[in-house]
């Protein structure tokens, strides 16, 4: 029986890569660096925005880069985010089944809220926990375990869904059944190597993996 489904956000429920690419390249240009390809940036996400910019500008310029990135990103998210196919319908289906829903994202809470509010789904989630709200973000298990405690749901009644190896590692460390969805930054082959509970090609397929009472 599953009572709680925890989702990663980027690459799992939404496609925010256009906004991320735009903000990274804006930052790089401002600091005199050459632009990166969308693929290079997509492969670098998932560890929080500070780690994202550090990969491209180094530690010395990280503070300045992060400030530039965040200022630009607030505007970029207004037009650079959309639901991945089937995501909105899946969330509605989960709610109709009486499931509790949560978000576990390494994004800062500020940007996560902008995305959820912009897409009109913030009220669908019982808990939203982000990387800047915990001492140790993903791949550490703290975020998932905290959500389970706050929702008062057992780990055995919880499913976690993410698109990256960092998500699968997080779920494994938390002892929570984890589903990898091959719609994000990591390839299906990379996800399969970690042997999660299940791998799906589309979020629509999640319905078949949720045993209900």
Specify whether 107 is located in the same domain as 181: yes
Q: What is the CATH number of the domain that holds 27?
A: 1.10.150
Q: What is the CATH number of the domain that holds 109?
A: 3.40.50.1000
Please give the tally of structural domains in the chain: 2
Specify whether 64 is located in the same domain as 115: no
Q: 10-residue block means of pLDDT along the chain (213 residues)?
A: 96 96 97 95 91 94 96 93 96 96 96 95 97 95 98 97 97 98 95 96 93 59
pLDDT at 211: 73
Give whole-number Cα distances, 77 to 105, 107, 135, 157, 169, in Å.
Answer: 16, 13, 26, 33, 28
Specify whether 140 is located in the same domain as 60: no
User: pTM for this one?
Assistant: 0.92
pLDDT at 212: 59
Domain of residue 36 covers 17-76
Contacts of 101 (CB under 8 A, 6+ apart): 4, 5, 6, 7, 91, 94, 95, 124, 125, 126
Specify whether 106 is located in the same domain as 199: yes
pLDDT at 173: 98
Specify whether 57 is located in the same domain as 106: no
d(CA 28, CA 60): 14
């Amino acid at each position: 029986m599953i009572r709680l489904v925890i989702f990663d956000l980027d690459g799992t429920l939404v496609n925010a890569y256009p906004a991320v690419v735009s903000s990274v390249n804006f930052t790089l240009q401002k600091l005199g660096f050459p632009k990166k390809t969308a693929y290079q940036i997509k492969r670098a996400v998932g560890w929080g925005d500070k780690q994202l910019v550090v990969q491209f500008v180094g530690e010395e310029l990280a503070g300045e880069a992060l400030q530039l990135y965040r200022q630009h990103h607030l505007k970029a998210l207004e037009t650079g985010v959309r639901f991945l196919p089937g995501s909105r319908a899946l969330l509605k289906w989960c709610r109709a089944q009486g499931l509790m829903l949560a978000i576990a994202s390494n994004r800062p809470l500020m940007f996560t809220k902008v995305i959820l509010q912009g897409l009109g789904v913030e009220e669908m989630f019982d808990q939203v926990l982000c990387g800047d709200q915990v001492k140790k973000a993903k791949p550490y298990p703290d975020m998932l375990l905290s959500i389970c405690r706050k929702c008062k749901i057992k780990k055995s009644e919880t499913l976690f869904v993410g698109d990256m190896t960092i998500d699968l590692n997080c779920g494994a460390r938390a002892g929570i059944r984890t589903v990898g969805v091959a719609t994000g930054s990591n390839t299906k082959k990379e996800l399969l190597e970690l042997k999660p509970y299940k791998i799906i090609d589309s979020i629509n397929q999640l319905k078949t993996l949720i045993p209900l009472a």
